Every structure is written in C-alpha cells, then in structure tokens.
A and B are shown apart, each in its own frame.
Chain A
C-alpha cells in the first residue's frame, strides 16, 4: 500500500512538472542530404543533451522546435556518420550533408535494467527489432512479429486461431519442470507474460492468449532480445531463460502538436485445407448406415438415401463445406498518437483500437489501448520519465481446442463426407434441444452451430502498466535512478456449456449431459521498486563505470469464482442457477529482493570488460536457502581499433570493424510459492462434508532454485564501410539443480517427490548476416538480413533413480509420449510402431491386418528443429519500399492426431484406395510366411489409426519454408500532398503467413501445437493457420 501511494505521488509530481516547465522556443527548418545531394529519409535530428528530436520526411526535410540561444544539433542516420552542427541564435534554415560512415560507433542498444550501452562494448549477443515491424504487417500477438528476425529465438505459435498464445524459447529448453519462456521487461519493469494455454489435455479447452499480447504494437519503439544469461544476469533468478526488453515510444518536440494516424485493415483466410476424400459416404464396409459415425460407406453416386434428419436426399459430398461454413476473418486496427512538448518536457499520448472477427462465426476479440508517456527535465540535474498504459481486452468465444466436443475443426474433420455442415443449421429443435447428427454420441459430438451460438466463453481484462523513473545527476560522473513500476491485470472470465442435448424422444428424460456455467475474477499485481546509483569516470585511456542497485519485487495474485454444475434452466447463466454450485478462491503472494552491482571498464575504446553480481532473496525458499547469487563476466575486444591505436597498423580497408567477445554467467529460474510445506486441500464433498486429503507429492523443504550456467563467444565482422556484416556466436549453457518431481513407488504413500537434480545442456551457434547488397546513385537500396541458429540439446543427467522424464505422458488417444530422458534430447517423441520381428518385418495377423506393437516406446523423433533461419529482404527506391521475410525451419518431428482420426474415420483423402479390398499388407505372419491375406482400406486404417494408433504413421517432418511477410509501401512525397493538411502519408499493402513454400505435413501447418508448455510437437484438431492480407495507412498532421 505504501509503495502504491508513493507510486501515485511520483506520477502526479511528474505531470505537474510537465505543466510547469514552459520555456522560450523557436523553429529551425532544414534538409538532410547525402554527399551526393540525395535526400536522406528518416534521419534523426536531435538537439544535443535534450530530449528534442524529429525525423526527416521523404524529401529529407525537417522542422524542429528548439530553445532560443546557441544549440548543437546532432544528425544521424543508419549507414552515415553522426554529424554535430553548432547553430547560433539567428539561424532558421540549415542544410546538413551526411558522410557515409562507421555506424557501429554510434550504435546504442538497450541492455538489462534498461541501461543504454554502446553495442561494441558488449560481451554478449543482443538483437534489436524496430517498431515498424510491429505495426504494418500486424500480428494480434506482438511477439509473433519477432519470427525470423532474431537468431536463436524460437516461437511456437499455437494452432488456436488469431487469439491464441505463442510459446517463446531462447536458445533451447533449459528446464524440465519450468516453462522455459523468457522474462518480458517493458521500459525497465518486468511484466507478467501469463500463460493460459497450459494444462490442456486430450479433451481440450480454449486458449486465452498470453500476457505479451497486451502490449500495443503501436507503442513499441524497439524490442531487444537478451539471449544468454550473460546479457540477462542482472535479472538473477528471473533471467535464466533470457529476457525480452520492450522499449516504448516517447514524445518528440515538433512544431506544435504532432498527430499521427495509423489505420490497418487485414483479412484472414485459411492458409491450408486438409485433403479430404469426396467419393465415399457415411457408413461402414461400403454399406450406407445412417447411424454410422465414419465415412466407410458406399461410393457416392447421388443415390437416394434417408439421411440423419429423416429426409430422402441424394447422397453427395460437398468439397467446399468448411470453406462455406467459415467467415473471412477481419481485423481493423486504428491508432492515433499525439505528441509534443518543449525543450524541457515532452509527452506522447497514443490510443489504439483493434477489432478482430475470427474465421469461426460469432468469435471476436476487441482491444482498446491507451498510453501516456511524459519525459521531463525538471532541472539540469533532475529528470523524470513516467508512463501509464492501459489495455482493455474483450474476447468472445475463443476457439475450443483439441478433443473438446466444441472444437468445430476436430468435429468437422471426422464428419462423414455425406453429412453436411450446412444441414446442421438450425441447431436446436422446438424444445430447445440440440439437433445432433449422431445423437447417441452426444458426449463426444456436438453440432458446430450449437458450439458457436449456444455454448460460449468470454473474457474481459483490464491491464495497467505504469512506470515512474527519476534520475538525479549529483555530479557529471555520478547519478542516481529511482524507479517504480506496476503491472496490474484484472480479468473476468465466463464460460458455459449450454443446457439441453439432442434427444429424439421428447417424452423421455433429456440427459442434459455436462451443462454448466462458470465465472471467475482474478487480479494479478506485480510491483517493482528499484534504484541504481552509477558512477562513470574517465582516467586518460581508461573509462570506468561502477553501479550499485537494488530491486524489490512484490507479486500478488488472487482469484475467486465458481461453477454451477448442471444448469437448472436453459439460457440462464448465474452462479446460483445450477445443481451443484461450487465456489473457489485462491491467493498467492511472493517477494523477491535483490541487490546488484556491476562494473564496466574500458581501455582506449577497444577493450571492454563487464562484471556483474546479483544477490537475490526469495520468499518462496526456506530461510537457510533464501539467499542466492548470480555473477557474470564478459568482455569485448575491438581488434581493428586495437591494431590501429596500438600499432598504428590498420586492417585492410575492406574490413571496417572486427570485434571478439566472450562471457560467462549464472542465472536462475524461480520456484513458485508454497512449495515447501505439505498442504491439505480444502474442498466440500458429497452432502457438504468437509473433505481434505494428504498431499500426494512429498514436499522438500530444502528445495533450491534452478541454475543456468552459460558461456558464449562471438565475432562481429563488418566489411566495405559496414555494408556487409557478419555476427557469429557460439554458446553453451547448462541448466542444473532442476526442480524435478520424481515418481516414487506409490507404496511410500506418495506418487512423487520433489528433488533438485539434473543437468540439461544446450549448445549451438548463431549467424546474423546483414548486407547492403545494392545502393545506387538513383536512390535504389537493397538490404538483406539473415538470421540463422542451430541448437543441440541433451539431457546429460536426470536423477539417480531413473533415466526417464515425461514432459507429458500419453497425449491424444494415448498415441505419443513427450520425454526428456537422460542421454537424449529434450522433447523426444515416443510412440507406437507396428509389431516387427527381429528382421524388422511387420508382423501380420491371421486376418491380414498388421499387428500394432504392444509398447509405445519406439523413438519416433524429436520436436526441436535442427536449425531455424529467417531471411529478410528490403528494397527501397525513393518513397517506395518493398520487403519480404522468409522463415525456414529445418528438422523436428510433429505428430498429427487430426490425420490419424481422419484416416480412422475414412474422411482423409488417403483412405480412398482399396475400399473394396485387395490391399495385401507387406509383412510376415507369426510363422514367418509372407502375408497374402487381402484386407480393405477400412480394416487397415481403423486398426492402425483408431484408438492407440500406430503413431509412426502420423509422425511428420516439421521442416518448412514459408513466406512469412511481404510489405509493399509507398511514402507519398509531401510535395505531392500539396496544401492538404496531411503530411508523411505512407500506404502499405501487407501480407503475413502468405505461402507455405515447403512443408511435409499434408494440410496441417507445422505451427499448430495447442499448448505453450514444454510438451510440443503435436496437434489435435488445430484451427487452420491463417493467411493475412491487409493494408496499412499512416499519416501525420
């Protein structure tokens, strides 16, 4: 509470400062050109030591409001040398000519704790992605825009539609029990990247998105990925999986109020449809059966049948039934940003509205996001930075996933081909009961219209992110930063399974199987208060920086809600309106205190050393184990400057930059609250009896946090005036002290115990290649950026008792198991193969069907890719830009339960041959004689693809190449706009996920898993991945 008050006070103070700091201003106009007198577009023009800046327009022109008196302007642009110009009090128009030059010197990146550092001083790899990439070809989930743009970053997009989650992994999976996702930090304040897609099993649920999607892409200036613990060591216990830093935009000083609009309209259509057969209808063994739930019936010839509705109709298959059922998804995003200020204070106020309609009817997602950021220089010593952002999200009917009966896609894929989606509307009868084509299967089948219009789920959330940061300069070399931030999210979720199932006999009791309504509220608050005292001093050739800081993190979470049990009445959704109302509540609180110090030293600007040390005290650990420390060491050596400055022998001219770097670090992974004491759950049982039970996990009061030790080495080389650059990194990291739940013999009274053990190693390398391939006199420019990463992973050690660790056991129809076994790679997929004799021949039963292996412990692959690669190309010619991004993923296996179900149900295209028999399976009988017994396609597929399928048949290579993004833009010259009040108008045509150039899974996108847990590499009933086409218009006043 005290911290919150303090926070509010600081926020108020900052706003006051803004109002009180009004100064005298004047206008400076100018034009920025190259040495060849060509306009430089988007060059930054900044008043030195002031937060006043602007960018040049398409003609290279700028207007800037500056304080009266003498000032110094700094003009910079990528590929040019920074230029400083002193301007006296009378100048009103200037022409600045920039020389092509060594940009590396001025390349500043944001590092841990939000500290800006010269990139060349860093002993580790960081990669930054600029804000434009997030706003033109938009993704509903901000993090998806990083795909292909950062080496070593893997995104596992769920196949849960436009509102789904994305799993983020940097440089491989460290933790067996943890979630392996990086920490997200926004403007120096950690943010909760909550996960809702976890814990879903075979029968599905829905995916409520993840936390990072609450960030407004329009607010983002840059996203910086701190890959290794050396970069993230200052985040200690929270930095073990890397960190993604998000920096949001600040206001700029301009002529009056700057008003920027961005409007974006995009449509979504399925990128792929699964191949289905259209030749055979409902039934079995070639005979029509109106009760049949599969498509093994007769050949479709238009013969008359009495269908499931009792109507006499010709039997037909409809190729486009799914296409006709689905809508075209649509997303409108409109944003406006106001910015302005004076030499003392600037502000930016941004608002974005997003409105998305999914492919499935009656599914929507809406967002409103507002951000206010104020930067103020109160005195020459004291500056402030404050931000409030608010995001409101409202989702309706997020798609059901996996084997949920409400998953329209899973339902459709196995629907007999002669049963038509279009016939399922209307979806309820006069009694209000669901009309179902297979009434006896009411627990596993649902009318898709019923799922979309009667059942529902909604969620509404309000999220506030605030930040206040105060800087005080004691002297030229000593400053203090005090910062406070809060991340608060409140959500209200509702879901209902509607009352009333199909019952073809209205006089008999209706089995209202599993109807119900649930509603709940939750609130998560995390506050971070930190300080940082930094001293920086130069002594001749040495430069030294020493900082001391601390952070206090406090998180609380609470939720309350309930479920009704079966509903009393149809259409009435109230927590008291059911047969078995059950309330629930949960709360949790954690604190993490830390102190850190770091030293940055450099010699002659070519040798740099960083040492950091952090100590954490965590409330979730036992008093004796509470204190933990995380050191890191890294260094960088600029070879070209060393040779030049020390031996006066520069490298050949074509080498413009040559840096070597290396580092070692230790970081960690936290433990959740309440892991130390045995607890007896509270519940009410039959007749309201008090019920509890002893915990089935033997707790360990001495549990320690996980530790990730890592080292990385890299080379950064640039050639031909930085026109070509290559950055290579090798890393190796070991995650130790893993918190594992070890299965114990149940006779001990426990099913598992918690221990610290294990060692998971990831090693790999990354290439980042950038090239300015072409740059012509006429202004044509072609840039290429290639990101490549390769990771090898091995579980070096588990625990002494067993070599087996299940990341998830028995997913989907008990088809596969996902493991991290000792001596193997993380994410191996085990499943069932055919039964084989010692020679490897498949054993065939007497009836001619192949025998399935009894055990499902055949190694079928690993879900992790061998390498991933992103190639982006950017072309520009005057105001015209064209860019495209290709994503390549090589290796990794993927299991498709959808295709297994479709083969078993006879709906897959592959089930057409041998319908009438004549399929002789290549194999041997028990007596080793060759199989000669012919079977039908139905006999074969129902056996191998039904329950407990031969998983090896549905295991695919997940390698793929895709055209991830294309943007064609034109920046209208302001001259052309004439007297219109509009300036800097840019129109772009954009596309995302346009073309799966190469894939090995028929009809299913390899990016279709449905959880964000460690158990990846499989899908079931995935929402089709979508192709997005749109246009983006931005302009200013």
Chain B
C-alpha cells in the first residue's frame, strides 16, 4: 500500500512536471494577443477615412502653422515682421523645415497616395480618388514652391523605398495634368462615398470641380514666366472648364469645429500669447492711403498723420518712411487695413512711454499706433523699444477666432488670377481684366465686411499709397519706385491680390513676389549674406527658396547631391525653376 502511494507520488510529480513544461512552453493564443485592438487594421481602411485627416493636417496644425506659415512664409512675404528667429534675416530654420518636410511626405503624401492606390483598386469610379488627386496637387505645389526640386514621382509610393528628387518643371506639368484628369473624373453620378467625411465641400462635387480648375489656374499662372505657353494653355483650359464663381465656392478648411486652443487648430496664435510678430512696414506702406478712405474710429488720443521723428539708422534706405517713428494713425487707409491690423493698445501690451533709442530722452506714447516694423532688422535693432512688437499694429483678433476657417483658395484670389491672365492677353471668359480686378477687390472687401458704398468709393479713388499705387483701374499716378513704375495695371492687380488674400495667402504672396517682383516690398534691413546676396532692391534682394533639411544631406546623400546638380546650390538665393 505504502509502495503504491509512494510510487503514485512520483508518477504525480513526473506528471505535474511534464504538464508544467508543456504549459509553460505553450504559445497558443499568442498571435491573437499580439493583434493591436486599439487601431484599424489595414484591411478596413478606406480612402474616405484618410482624406479628413489630411485636410486638417495639411493646412497645418498650430505648431507647424506657426513655424511654416507665420514664421517662414509670412516673414518672407512680409505679411508680418520682427519675429526674432533666423528667418527674420532670410535664413531657413532647419528644425522647422525638417518637421514640415517629414510630415508632408510621411503624413500628407503618404495618406493621399494610399487613398489614391485604394481608390484606383476599386472596381468602380469614385470621387474620393479624384479629390485625393486634387488635394495632393495642392500639398505638392506648396512644397515645390518653397524648395524647388523635390521627390515626387516615386515618393511615398507604399514600397517604403527612398525616392529621387524630381525636377520642378516635370512636377508642375504632372500636377497640371493631374488636375485636368481629376476635374474630368469627378462626377455627381459616381457612387456616394461615406457620408460626413467631406467637411471641405460637404460632398458638393460641382464645387470640387471648380476648385480643381481654379487650382489649375493658380498653378498655371505660377509658371507664367518659366513656360508661358504651357501656362497660357492650362490657364485658358481651366477657366473654360469652370472656375469658382463666387465666394461660396471658396475652398475653406475649418481646422477644428469647436476647439480653441493650442493644438486644436488655433491659427495665428503666435501673434498673441507667444507674440513677437507685428505688421510689416511694407504692409503699412501698401495700405496707407490706398483707396483714400478715412481711418475709421481712430483710437482716443491718437495723433493722425504724425510726421514722425528721426531715429537711428537701422532701416533699409529704400523705405520711403525710413527712420521715422510715427505715433498715431494715418488719416487715409485701405478699409481692410484696420481690420487686418489693430492699433496698439493696452491690451496688446503697448507702452505708454516707449523710450526711443537713437533720440536720447525721447519717449512716445505707443498706444494707439497703427504702424509696422521694417523687415529683416538685426536682432539688436529689433530689441529696441521703437520696434517692440507690442508697440506696433498687430493682427486683428478676429483672425484668432476658432470659427474662422483656413482659406485654401478664395474666390477673390481666383478673380485676380483671371485678371492677370486677361491682362496678359490670354483668352478669358466672364469679363475684362478691369472687371475681374474690380470683382476681386469687391469680393475681398465683402469677405471682410466692408460696406458696398465704401467699396465703390475705394475703386473710384485716385488716392495714392506710400509708393504711389492707386486703386482706380482707370487711373495711373505715373509714379515710380526704385526705377520702376508703380501704378501700372499689373502692379494694381498684384498689389490688390497681396492685400486681398491676407492672412492665409502668405505662401501665394511670397510666390507672386518672386515671380513678378510685385508688389513693392522693402528689402530686408540686415539680411544674412548667405541667404540674400543682392543689395540693389531688385528681385535678387529677396529670399528665393528655403533650403532642404540638413538631415537630407546626411541620410540621403546621393539623391541630395543629384538635386543640387540639377537645381543649383542648396541656399536661399538659388531661384526655383518657375522663378528663373
């Protein structure tokens, strides 16, 4: 009996041990455990899931909007000035553009290309596919406009393989083709997509078509100087194909429906809170006097038309207002001016007794000033109180509102594009250059709530701005600036476009200035000599492009060197193809 017990104890032990070994080395169920329950598996992803994220991300989240739009494009286009970073001297900020470059490929383009691949694989035609193609053109155009040659044809194609830099000329031609095909492929009779996903045009396919053509027109005009024939053909086809016909066709992206705060689609946050940007002197000069309308409700106690007094010599000699510190407001101004930029005030931190360096003992009440700072001040000049951003006119707080959408493309921009095409003598329908110009000004002013009577008076005014440009199409002041006429028709169109597409049009404004050297902007006061080489106030005096992320020169040497050999040195003064 005892033996049996003993024996069974040993059997039991061996049994337990054996089953333990089996149990502990058993990996049954491991595969199920390691399937991520927190995300979509690749098998269910649909193009319609991918697009909303790209809309939101590609108009740039607040962090990147701050860096790429406010602190780079808006500085180079002089939509604002004096932000205290290296871009103030025309230099590329490597960290910001590294982020942008990485995001644009690995987030925007990767998502769009995946949507296009999934769309093409469907056995039936879809509008999502065409929308993805259109949006990809918008995303790519912004990238190639700032860098020039970029990886395009093989980039982010799903293989995980690296891709070479493609020539901008080829990229532009392909984008024009894509937009043409996408517009043609859009159809209201295509099957309905997942509802609630299109918060840009709310599934209105006609509007998408108009946007595709309008964007094609924009891209066509961009290459007007580099390849006039292609530009003309595409512009004419796009206009004939049906462009935006009113502001309700504008392409707008509400980057967030409700949230208002850092990280939630809060545009232009850099102006306030972090704040070190103000209205640029060029913007002040363009707006002052233009259209001859009185400055509405000047702040209490503000001096009107202060002649100003002399400061030191930090500013660029081409500025008609150089070294003048003016308090108060101008008597006449473009009606959009005080809407875009609010006079300095207590609330924005303006100083009741700003000490004026260069004029010993002088102090000025800097509250109620509606003036801007010169672009490209050296950092020590920028630190002086006369240039302190809080003592300048700064972006209107209406642009901080959460319900304000990001303007991807507005009807007034389209009007100015057509006006330019007409002015070039290309075939346009729907009116003359004058009519399109006036439609653009009207749409822009209406967009910001300017009354129709004021618009009419404005368009009839021969009042000159600081440079001598006027609003009246039929009038020419005959003035010149730095040797070039300032009130010819092309100057009027681009000046109005520059003003009209504020504030989201900084990318376009910089591109127009590179392409046409219009409107007049004061060259940077103290540019970095490696970024801006010329000093004559001519086209070479402005930033031409931004540099590639320095990481590319390390991690992607072969393709990077190839890009340099086809485009030129990787510096800010190398023009891109359409600027040549």
Contacts and interface: CB of A to CB of B under 8 A. Distances in A.
Interface in A432-487: 438-444, 474, 480
Interface stretch (A58-66, A182-190, A591-599, A1026-1034): A591-599
A996 B17 CA distance: 57
A64 B217 CA distance: 98
Interface in A488-542: 503-505, 508, 511-516, 531, 533
A750 B106 contact: yes
B559 A745 contact: yes
B33 A590 contact: yes
Nearest to A513: B261
A1 interface: no
A753 B48 CA distance: 27
B484 interface: no
A204 to B, nearest CB: 13
Contacts of B36: 673-674, 677, 679
Contact of A686 (B20, B26, B29, B257): B257
Contacts of B40: 679-682, 692
B30 A626 contact: yes
B38 interface: yes
B160 A753 contact: yes
Nearest to B161: A748
B156 interface: yes
A673 B39 contact: no
A440 B349 contact: yes
Given A620-B34, A677-B35, 6 more contacts: A595-B24, A615-B25, A674-B38, A746-B104, A801-B555, A947-B85
A284 B378 CA distance: 18
B157 interface: yes
A566 interface: yes
Contacts of B162: 744-745, 747-748
Contact of A444 (B33, B274, B347): B274
Interface residues of A, number: 96
Interface stretch (B121-129, B191-199, B322-330, B487-495): B191-199
Nearest to B34: A619
Interface string B1-43: 0000000010001001100110111110111011111111110
Contacts of B114: 694
B554 interface: yes
Contacts of B9: 474
Given A685-B56, A691-B56, A749 B260 contact: no
> What are the nearest 5 A-B pairs in CB distance?
A443-B273, A749-B156, A550-B24, A747-B151, A440-B349
Nearest to A749: B156
Contact of A747 (B17, B52, B156): B156
Contacts of A849: 380
A321 to B, nearest CB: 24
B98 to A, nearest CB: 9
Most chain B CB neighbours (cut-off 10 Å) among A290, A505, A750: A750
A680 B260 contact: no
Nearest to A699: B160
A285 B355 contact: yes
Contacts of B496: none
A118 interface: no
Contact of B261 (A284, A516, A618, A693): A516
Contact of B27 (A617, A674, A678): A617
B53 A552 contact: no
A626 B27 contact: yes
Contact of B110 (A443, A533, A690, A750): A750
B106 A593 contact: no
A215 to B, nearest CB: 28
Contact of B259 (A579, A589, A619, A690): A579
Contacts of B516: none
Most chain B CB neighbours (cut-off 10 Å) among A284, A505, A550, A745: A745
Most chain B CB neighbours (cut-off 10 Å) among A620, A698, A751: A751
B37 A746 contact: no
A930 interface: no
Given A551-B24, A745-B162, A748-B156, A692 B105 contact: no
B34 A673 contact: yes
Contact of A291 (B42, B262, B349): B349
B176 to A, nearest CB: 22
Contact of B25 (A580, A595, A619): A595
A688 interface: yes
A751 B104 CA distance: 10
Interface in B351-400: 351-353, 355, 357, 378-380, 383, 385, 390, 400
A309 interface: no
Contacts, number: 271
Given A440-B347, A680-B45, A690-B49, A285 B33 contact: no
Given A587-B38, A595-B21, A696-B107, A749 B157 contact: yes
A444 B273 contact: yes
B254 interface: yes
Given A579-B259, A593-B25, A619 B53 contact: no
A287 interface: yes
A586 interface: yes
Nearest to B48: A690
Contacts of B390: 291, 440
B25 A748 contact: no
Contacts of A34: none
Contacts of A503: 347
A431 interface: no
B379 to A, nearest CB: 7
A115 interface: no
A777 B84 CA distance: 75
B53 A591 contact: no
17 contacts: A290-B352, A440-B275, A515-B261, A595-B21, A617-B30, A623-B31, A626-B27, A680-B42, A681-B40, A688-B196, A689-B197, A689-B199, A691-B53, A747-B105, A747-B556, A748-B159, A748-B162
A847 interface: yes
A915 to B, nearest CB: 15
B111 A694 contact: yes
B552 interface: yes
B503 to A, nearest CB: 18
Contacts of A438: 349
Given A533-B17, A691-B56, A443 B262 contact: yes
Interface in A790-827: 801-802, 804, 810, 814
A84 B507 CA distance: 90
Nearest to A478: B13
A623 to B, nearest CB: 7
B267 interface: no
Interface in A672-728: 673-674, 676-683, 685-694, 696, 698
B247 interface: no
Interface in A281-318: 284-285, 287, 289-291
A550 B20 contact: yes
Interface string B242-284: 0000000000001111111110110001001111000000000
B107 A285 contact: no
Interface string A834-845: 000000000001
Contacts of A696: 102, 106-107, 110
B190 to A, nearest CB: 19
B129 to A, nearest CB: 17
Interface in A588-644: 588-591, 593-595, 615, 617-620, 623, 626
Contacts of A682: 38-40
A744 B101 CA distance: 12
Contacts of B196: 687-689
A939 interface: yes
B155 interface: yes
B113 interface: yes
B37 A747 contact: no
Interface string A43-59: 00000000000000000
B105 A749 contact: yes
